[in-house]
Protein backbone atom coordinates (compact mmCIF):
# COMPACT_ATOMS: atom_id res chain seq x y z
CA UNK A 1 0.00 0.00 0.00
CA UNK A 2 1.42 3.36 -1.04
CA UNK A 3 2.15 6.06 1.52
CA UNK A 4 0.57 9.30 0.31
CA UNK A 5 2.20 11.54 2.91
CA UNK A 6 3.77 14.54 1.08
CA UNK A 7 6.57 14.76 3.67
CA UNK A 8 8.18 11.42 4.37
CA UNK A 9 10.83 11.90 7.03
CA UNK A 10 11.26 8.19 7.66
CA UNK A 11 13.91 7.97 4.93
CA UNK A 12 16.10 10.45 6.77
CA UNK A 13 15.56 8.53 10.01
CA UNK A 14 16.62 5.34 8.23
CA UNK A 15 19.75 7.10 6.96
CA UNK A 16 20.56 8.24 10.51
CA UNK A 17 20.00 4.73 11.83
CA UNK A 18 22.25 3.31 9.10
CA UNK A 19 25.02 5.79 9.98
CA UNK A 20 24.82 4.54 13.57
CA UNK A 21 25.42 1.01 12.27
CA UNK A 22 28.48 2.36 10.45
CA UNK A 23 29.73 3.78 13.74
CA UNK A 24 29.13 0.45 15.44
CA UNK A 25 31.13 -1.32 12.73
CA UNK A 26 33.95 1.24 12.93
CA UNK A 27 34.24 0.78 16.69
CA UNK A 28 34.33 -3.00 16.26
CA UNK A 29 37.08 -2.69 13.65
CA UNK A 30 39.07 -0.36 15.90
CA UNK A 31 38.85 -2.94 18.68
CA UNK A 32 40.04 -5.58 16.21
CA UNK A 33 43.07 -3.48 15.19
CA UNK A 34 43.95 -2.60 18.80
CA UNK A 35 43.87 -6.22 19.91
CA UNK A 36 43.75 -8.85 17.15
CA UNK A 37 43.32 -11.63 19.72
CA UNK A 38 40.05 -13.56 19.74
CA UNK A 39 39.88 -12.82 16.02
CA UNK A 40 37.11 -15.29 15.22
CA UNK A 41 34.73 -13.90 17.84
CA UNK A 42 35.46 -10.30 16.89
CA UNK A 43 35.01 -11.02 13.21
CA UNK A 44 31.69 -12.77 13.81
CA UNK A 45 30.58 -9.70 15.77
CA UNK A 46 31.43 -7.52 12.78
CA UNK A 47 29.64 -9.94 10.48
CA UNK A 48 26.53 -9.53 12.63
CA UNK A 49 26.82 -5.75 12.26
CA UNK A 50 27.25 -6.13 8.50
CA UNK A 51 24.03 -8.18 8.40
CA UNK A 52 22.29 -5.36 10.28
CA UNK A 53 23.46 -3.04 7.51
CA UNK A 54 22.05 -5.37 4.86
CA UNK A 55 18.72 -5.45 6.70
CA UNK A 56 18.68 -1.65 6.93
CA UNK A 57 19.32 -1.36 3.20
CA UNK A 58 16.41 -3.71 2.53
CA UNK A 59 14.24 -1.53 4.80
CA UNK A 60 15.16 1.53 2.76
CA UNK A 61 14.39 -0.21 -0.52
CA UNK A 62 11.08 -1.50 0.82
CA UNK A 63 10.10 2.00 1.92
CA UNK A 64 10.92 3.37 -1.52
CA UNK A 65 8.77 0.72 -3.17
CA UNK A 66 5.87 1.38 -0.76
CA UNK A 67 5.95 5.18 -0.90
CA UNK A 68 4.03 7.13 -3.51
CA UNK A 69 5.86 10.35 -2.66
CA UNK A 70 9.47 10.56 -1.48
CA UNK A 71 11.22 13.63 0.00
CA UNK A 72 14.09 13.33 -2.48
CA UNK A 73 14.45 11.54 -5.81
CA UNK A 74 14.07 7.77 -5.62
CA UNK A 75 17.34 7.35 -7.48
CA UNK A 76 19.10 9.44 -4.84
CA UNK A 77 17.63 7.32 -2.05
CA UNK A 78 18.96 4.20 -3.77
CA UNK A 79 22.40 5.80 -4.20
CA UNK A 80 22.57 6.94 -0.57
CA UNK A 81 21.44 3.53 0.68
CA UNK A 82 24.09 1.79 -1.43
CA UNK A 83 26.79 4.22 -0.27
CA UNK A 84 25.86 3.61 3.38
CA UNK A 85 25.97 -0.15 2.84
CA UNK A 86 29.34 0.10 1.09
CA UNK A 87 30.95 1.69 4.15
CA UNK A 88 29.87 -1.20 6.39
CA UNK A 89 30.95 -3.74 3.77
CA UNK A 90 34.44 -2.22 3.43
CA UNK A 91 34.86 -2.11 7.21
CA UNK A 92 33.85 -5.75 7.51
CA UNK A 93 36.19 -6.68 4.67
CA UNK A 94 39.10 -5.01 6.48
CA UNK A 95 38.51 -7.14 9.56
CA UNK A 96 38.33 -10.18 7.30
CA UNK A 97 41.86 -9.41 6.06
CA UNK A 98 43.18 -9.32 9.63
CA UNK A 99 41.60 -12.68 10.36
CA UNK A 100 42.59 -14.25 7.03
CA UNK A 101 46.26 -13.38 7.54
CA UNK A 102 46.14 -14.36 11.21
CA UNK A 103 47.55 -10.96 12.22
CA UNK A 104 48.43 -10.96 15.90
CA UNK A 105 50.39 -7.74 16.22
CA UNK A 106 49.33 -4.14 16.73
CA UNK A 107 50.44 -1.84 13.91
CA UNK A 108 50.57 1.86 14.79
CA UNK A 109 49.71 3.20 11.32
CA UNK A 110 46.82 0.78 10.91
CA UNK A 111 45.56 1.87 14.30
CA UNK A 112 45.79 5.54 13.31
CA UNK A 113 43.67 4.88 10.22
CA UNK A 114 41.12 2.82 12.14
CA UNK A 115 40.79 5.62 14.70
CA UNK A 116 40.13 8.05 11.87
CA UNK A 117 37.48 5.71 10.47
CA UNK A 118 35.76 5.87 13.87
CA UNK A 119 35.97 9.68 13.81
CA UNK A 120 34.61 9.74 10.25
CA UNK A 121 31.70 7.50 11.29
CA UNK A 122 30.87 9.95 14.08
CA UNK A 123 30.89 12.81 11.59
CA UNK A 124 28.62 10.79 9.29
CA UNK A 125 26.01 10.47 12.05
CA UNK A 126 26.05 14.25 12.49
CA UNK A 127 25.94 14.70 8.71
CA UNK A 128 22.86 12.49 8.38
CA UNK A 129 21.13 14.38 11.18
CA UNK A 130 21.89 17.67 9.45
CA UNK A 131 20.77 16.18 6.13
CA UNK A 132 17.29 15.72 7.58
CA UNK A 133 17.04 19.50 7.46
CA UNK A 134 18.57 20.24 4.09
CA UNK A 135 18.29 23.99 4.62
CA UNK A 136 21.02 23.69 7.25
CA UNK A 137 23.70 23.81 4.56
CA UNK A 138 26.38 25.29 6.83
CA UNK A 139 26.25 22.32 9.19
CA UNK A 140 26.09 19.87 6.28
CA UNK A 141 29.14 21.42 4.62
CA UNK A 142 31.13 21.44 7.86
CA UNK A 143 30.55 17.71 8.35
CA UNK A 144 31.46 16.92 4.75
CA UNK A 145 34.67 18.92 5.15
CA UNK A 146 35.43 17.07 8.41
CA UNK A 147 35.15 13.70 6.66
CA UNK A 148 37.31 14.96 3.79
CA UNK A 149 40.00 16.13 6.22
CA UNK A 150 40.06 12.73 7.92
CA UNK A 151 40.30 10.96 4.56
CA UNK A 152 43.19 13.21 3.51
CA UNK A 153 45.01 12.43 6.75
CA UNK A 154 44.53 8.72 6.12
CA UNK A 155 45.92 9.17 2.60
CA UNK A 156 49.06 10.64 4.16
CA UNK A 157 49.36 7.74 6.62
CA UNK A 158 48.77 5.26 3.80
CA UNK A 159 51.56 6.77 1.68
CA UNK A 160 53.96 6.72 4.63
CA UNK A 161 53.01 3.12 5.35
CA UNK A 162 53.67 2.06 1.76
CA UNK A 163 57.02 3.85 1.79
CA UNK A 164 58.04 2.03 4.96
CA UNK A 165 56.87 -1.34 3.62
CA UNK A 166 58.99 -1.01 0.49
CA UNK A 167 62.04 0.47 2.20
CA UNK A 168 63.87 -2.85 1.89
CA UNK A 169 63.74 -3.61 5.59
CA UNK A 170 60.48 -5.58 5.60
CA UNK A 171 60.18 -9.29 4.85
CA UNK A 172 58.33 -10.13 1.63
CA UNK A 173 55.50 -11.97 3.37
CA UNK A 174 54.83 -8.98 5.63
CA UNK A 175 54.85 -6.68 2.62
CA UNK A 176 52.11 -8.78 1.01
CA UNK A 177 50.03 -8.94 4.20
CA UNK A 178 50.27 -5.32 5.25
CA UNK A 179 49.91 -3.91 1.75
CA UNK A 180 46.59 -5.72 1.48
CA UNK A 181 45.46 -4.58 4.93
CA UNK A 182 46.46 -0.96 4.36
CA UNK A 183 44.58 -0.96 1.06
CA UNK A 184 41.49 -2.37 2.77
CA UNK A 185 41.69 0.35 5.43
CA UNK A 186 42.09 2.94 2.69
CA UNK A 187 38.99 1.64 0.88
CA UNK A 188 37.04 1.89 4.13
CA UNK A 189 37.91 5.54 4.77
CA UNK A 190 37.44 6.34 1.06
CA UNK A 191 33.91 4.94 1.26
CA UNK A 192 33.16 7.36 4.11
CA UNK A 193 34.27 10.26 1.94
CA UNK A 194 32.28 8.93 -1.02
CA UNK A 195 29.14 8.82 1.13
CA UNK A 196 29.73 12.39 2.29
CA UNK A 197 30.20 13.48 -1.33
CA UNK A 198 26.97 11.73 -2.35
CA UNK A 199 25.10 13.70 0.30
CA UNK A 200 26.72 16.90 -0.91
CA UNK A 201 25.52 16.18 -4.45
CA UNK A 202 21.96 15.50 -3.34
CA UNK A 203 21.82 18.64 -1.20
CA UNK A 204 23.12 20.71 -4.11
CA UNK A 205 20.23 19.44 -6.25
CA UNK A 206 17.56 20.29 -3.69
CA UNK A 207 18.68 23.55 -2.11
The pLDDT tens digits for 159-181 are: 999 999 898 777 888 899 999 99
Could you give the CA distance from residue 141 to residue 123 in angstroms, rounded to a whole number?
A: 11
Could you give the CA distance from residue 206 to residue 136 in angstroms, rounded to a whole number?
A: 12
Task: Report if residue 3 sits inside a domain.
Answer: no
Average pLDDT over residues 84-104: 94
pTM: 0.93
Task: Report if residue 47 sits inside a domain.
Answer: yes
Task: Report if residue 2 sits inside a domain.
Answer: no
Half-sphere exposure of 163 (CA within 13 A, CB side): 7
Task: Report if residue 81 sits inside a domain.
Answer: yes
Give the pLDDT score at 5.
44
Given a cut of 90, is residue 106 above it in pLDDT? no
Q: Considering the chain, what is the average pLDDT of its residues? A: 91
Q: Domain range holding 194?
A: 10-206
C-beta pairs of 126-135 under 8 Å, 24+ apart in sequence = 127/19, 127/196, 127/199, 128/12, 128/15, 128/16, 128/18, 128/19, 128/199, 129/16, 131/12, 131/15, 131/199, 131/202, 131/203, 132/9, 132/12, 132/13, 132/15, 132/16, 134/203, 134/206, 134/207, 135/207
Task: Report if residue 22 sits inside a domain.
Answer: yes
Count of domains forming the chain: 1
Task: Report if residue 1 sits inside a domain.
Answer: no
Task: Report if residue 4 sits inside a domain.
Answer: no
At 71-82, the pLDDT tens digits run 899 999 999 999
Could you give the CA distance from residue 190 to residue 157 in angstroms, rounded to a whole number?
A: 13
CATH of the domain at 104: 1.20.58.220
* Per-residue confidence band for 6, with pLDDT thresholds at 50, 70 and 90: very low
Task: Report if residue 5 sits inside a domain.
Answer: no
Amino acid sequence: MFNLSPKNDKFFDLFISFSEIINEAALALDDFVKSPSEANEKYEHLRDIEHKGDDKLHNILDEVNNSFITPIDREDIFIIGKALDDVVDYIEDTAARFMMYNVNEVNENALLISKNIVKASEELILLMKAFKNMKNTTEIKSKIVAVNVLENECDRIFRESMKTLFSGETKEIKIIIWKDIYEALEYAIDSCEKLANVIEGVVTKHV
